[in-house]
Chains A and B, each alone.
Chain A
């Protein structure tokens, strides 16, 4: 029970802390207000609870594919927000940064938190498991907070030195990986074809191993990806990065103002 709680918390909470640390690093490096953080986290938690209470109803929609559709759409929106935020930051436009960051928080916490809350709710009423549940949650949170702090410090240092590309790459890989992973959910309800995997690296790093879980969060690692997943992942990461490399920071701003 203890180990299972830690694993599930890592699966659901690590992506949230990873994203928060990347956004905080950029917000602090630009001396932006932290209103997005408090607003986004509290709204996200509220939405996660509302979703958890109504998850049975949501799941029944679209002929039993409601939860899959919701997760797929939420991650597509998260990717779009990340791409927009990265591009705007590159151009030096921070006008809607707070709104984009807050929306990212709300969506990520609501979708990821909902799955963990279902698990907590299942065991919460059982006093026998209470100690393991609380200890597992605290230990898992400790790991997530530590990883978040390290990632924050690393990216803050990078951004202070003006190295935005690596920060942008990490954020794009995270969001693209999370979105591409939801293709499996669409395939399991027959809304996307489930083609044979292009390669299988399970013998090196299995999806279910600790490294597999961590790499899935950081870069969207999957041991058996399909051709469609690889293609979309490459399009979603390489193309925006190539765009950032090609156009120097602030150039488009100047062109538009001219």
Chain B
């Protein structure tokens, strides 16, 4: 194998080694959000800080929507009449905004990451 080819192989292996991160598959706390008439219900979801959670979003509208959150780095198309799962966290205590990309003025909500025993993060 020539030097450049060997370097390329090592380089690709290094990249894949970086990507081989293990993800926890244990049962996670689950929270449900419903999208109806371009509004999220509930509009504020309290989740435990420092823990990964499963967010199940049910789009009850007849149109697709895109769940988007710059704070959470999440972006997922919600198809009409379907349940979609997004994994969030572990989060630092605080408030994280999310919105529907196709109806940003209507479909808005927040995830509040709270420490046990200290529910008020404001």
Hey, what's the 0/1 contact readout for B5-21 against A, CB within 8 Å counting as 1? 00100010011001101
A41-70 at interface with B (beta carbon < 8 Å): 55-56, 59, 64, 67
| Total contacts A-B at CB 8 Å | 85
Hey, what's the 0/1 contact readout for B51-83 against A, CB within 8 Å counting as 1? 010000000000110100010011111010010
Are B87 and A190 touching (Cβ within 8 A)? Answer: yes
Shortest Cβ distance from residue B114 to the other chain A in the assembled complex, whole angstroms: 17
Q: Is the CB of A187 closer than 8 A to any CB of chain B?
A: yes
Shortest Cβ distance from residue B104 to the other chain A in the assembled complex, whole angstroms: 6
Are B77 and A184 touching (Cβ within 8 A)? Answer: no
Hey, what's the 0/1 contact readout for A191-216 against B, CB within 8 Å counting as 1? 11110100000100011100010000
Shortest Cβ distance from residue A47 to the other chain B in the assembled complex, whole angstroms: 17
Hey, what's the 0/1 contact readout for A135-168 against B, CB within 8 Å counting as 1? 0000000000000000000000000000000000
Which A residues touch B64, using CB under 8 A?
A: 118, 122
Which A residues touch B119, using CB under 8 A?
A: none
Quick one: closest B residue to A212, CB to CB?
A: B70
Are A192 and B21 touching (Cβ within 8 A)? Answer: yes
Q: Is the CB of A188 closer than 8 A to any CB of chain B?
A: yes
Are A228 and B84 touching (Cβ within 8 A)? Answer: no
What's the tally of chain B residues with a CB closer than 8 Å to chain A?
35
Which B residues touch A59, using CB under 8 A?
A: 77, 79
Are B11 and A239 touching (Cβ within 8 A)? Answer: yes
Q: Is the CB of A235 closer than 8 A to any CB of chain B?
A: yes
Shortest Cβ distance from residue B53 to the other chain A in the assembled complex, whole angstroms: 11
Are B79 and A228 touching (Cβ within 8 A)? Answer: no
Q: Given A122-B102, A187-B73, A206-B70, check contact A235 B18 (CB 8 Å).
A: yes
Are B23 and A235 touching (Cβ within 8 A)? Answer: no
